[in-house]
Structure 1
Amino acid sequence: MLKIYGDILSGNCYKIKLLASFLSLEHEWIAVNILAGDTKTAEFLAKNPNGKIPLLELESGECLSESNAILNYLANGTDLLPTAKFERAKVLQWQFFEQYSHEPYIAVARFINKYLGMPEDRKDEYHKLQSGGHKALVVMETQLQKTPYLIGDNLTIADISLYGYTHVADEGGFDLSGYPGIQKWISRIQEHSKYIGMK
């Protein structure tokens, strides 16, 4: 059986759980507490020397890290990952956008507020992250005003990648009320028959 190591409240981990639900993948979810040092143990580091979650362990014992790599692996051969060359590249484009232009702002601001409880020494950082996060949301909104999903008319892992942190962006101080396209997109994903929430 597949094993998924993660923290369900982490957007990067949750998106793996969400994909597993959409694809009805049988798996064992192994809860990991990063604040308690669970990813720094010798046992975990033997599976992922980078000491991060999520982590996918195959039945063979082989391990795969990095959330978007895991999504691509699990979605291969399904309707959630296009086979056409350009559309597949567009999925990757959005996933790179998520890791470099979205997650470093929205996820980090959420981490400072939700996980760390807004410590005084990180308040300035939190406020500085807001402009970058809104810039990313504007890019998403521009696309979602044109198409129901990020690649077009159909749900793909590009949407799952961005959904992970976008749907809880308010926990990082990002008000989504000014982004109607994103709000409709969030509702669209949540209406999926196999949808499961973060909590």
Structure 2
Amino acid sequence: MKVYGDLQSGNCLKVKMLLSFLNIEHEWIHVNILDGETKTAEFLSKYPNGKIPAVELDDGRYLCESNAILGYFSENTVFLPTDTYLKAKMYEWLFFEQYSHEPFIAVARFIQKYLGMPKEREDEYLSLQKGGHKALQLMENQLTQTKYLVGNEMTIADISLYAYSHVADEGGFNLTRYPAIQDWCRRIQLTSGYVGMA
């Protein structure tokens, strides 16, 4: 199995973490999006959306979209709840990650860390702060009540939201404001098989 990704990307880290937690063998192939490596004809023939992470399964089928990949590999594991309500709550957090968290925190991080805060994107960067803090506060509220986002067991919702939350400071979000998130990050980091960003 081949996994195409960049371990500086939270979306790619999610997949690497789950595969490591589950001890699933794979070949990691580094892809540089800034050099256009996801825009080649070969890559696009397999992954038309031109994004990473992307997976080529042993049987030759392809998967993309980080949270869909998490769902695929977590089937019949401890990271996917069997209770239908808890599973729905897990999906609630996964959708939250894509629509209410990542568009603010990951984009602000990209502008600051990768682009070096160009003048023409300063206003956009500042406009992302309110939404990012709102997302982190919602997580903080939950994590003051439960060890993980869906009760007291880690699920793929935690893996998904950890990926960009633990480096939110790289987008201007001060995590000292969120002690429950900091404790949650440490719990995840202490999990057997944990891997971090390269």
Q: Normalising to structure 2: TM-score of the pair?
A: 0.99
- Deviation, 1:151, is 0.3
- Deviation, 1:115, is 1.1
Cα RMSD for the two superposed structures: 0.6
- In structure 2, what is the equivalent of residue 118 of structure 1? 117
| 1:38 counterpart SS class | coil
- In structure 1, what is the equivalent of residue 89 of structure 2? 90
- In structure 2, what is the equivalent of residue 193 of structure 1? 192
> Which amino acid in structure 1 is aligned with residue 106 of structure 2?
A
- In structure 2, what is the equivalent of residue 76 of structure 1? 75
CA distance in 1, matches of 2:2, 2:87: 26
| 2:34 counterpart SS class | coil
| 1:29 counterpart SS class | strand
- In structure 2, what is the equivalent of residue 67 of structure 1? 66
> Which amino acid in structure 1 is aligned with residue 91 of structure 2?
L
For residues 69-106 of structure 1, give each alpha carbon's deviation from its aligned partner in whole angstroms, at most 9, with x where no partner exists. 00000010100001111111111100000000000000
> Which amino acid in structure 2 is aligned with residue 5 of structure 1?
Y
CA distance in 1, matches of 2:117, 2:46: 32
- Deviation, 1:158, is 0.5
- Deviation, 1:111, is 0.5
Report matched runs for 1:160-199 at 5 Å. Answer: 160-199=159-198
Note the residue ranges of structure 2 that are not aligned, 5 or more in a row.
none
Report matched runs for 1:1-199 at 5 Å. Answer: 2-199=1-198
CA distance in 2, matches of 1:193, 1:61: 30
CA distance in 1, matches of 2:195, 2:9: 14
| 1:61 counterpart SS class | coil
CA distance in 2, matches of 1:173, 1:146: 26
CA distance in 1, matches of 2:47, 2:150: 31
| 2:38 counterpart SS class | helix
For residues 132-189 of structure 1, give each alpha carbon's deviation from its aligned partner in whole angstroms, at most 9, with x where no partner exists. 0000000000000000000011011010000000000000000000101101000100
CA distance in 2, matches of 1:67, 1:142: 25
For residues 9-34 of structure 1, give each alpha carbon's deviation from its aligned partner in whole angstroms, at most 9, with x where no partner exists. 00000110011110001000010000
Note the residue ranges of structure 1 that are not aligned, 5 or more in a row.
none
> Which amino acid in structure 2 is aligned with residue 160 of structure 1?
I
Alignment length, in residue pairs?
A: 198
- Deviation, 1:68, is 0.2
CA distance in 2, matches of 1:188, 1:168: 15
Q: Which runs of 4+ in 1 moved over 3 A?
A: none
| 1:39 counterpart SS class | coil
CA distance in 2, matches of 1:183, 1:154: 17
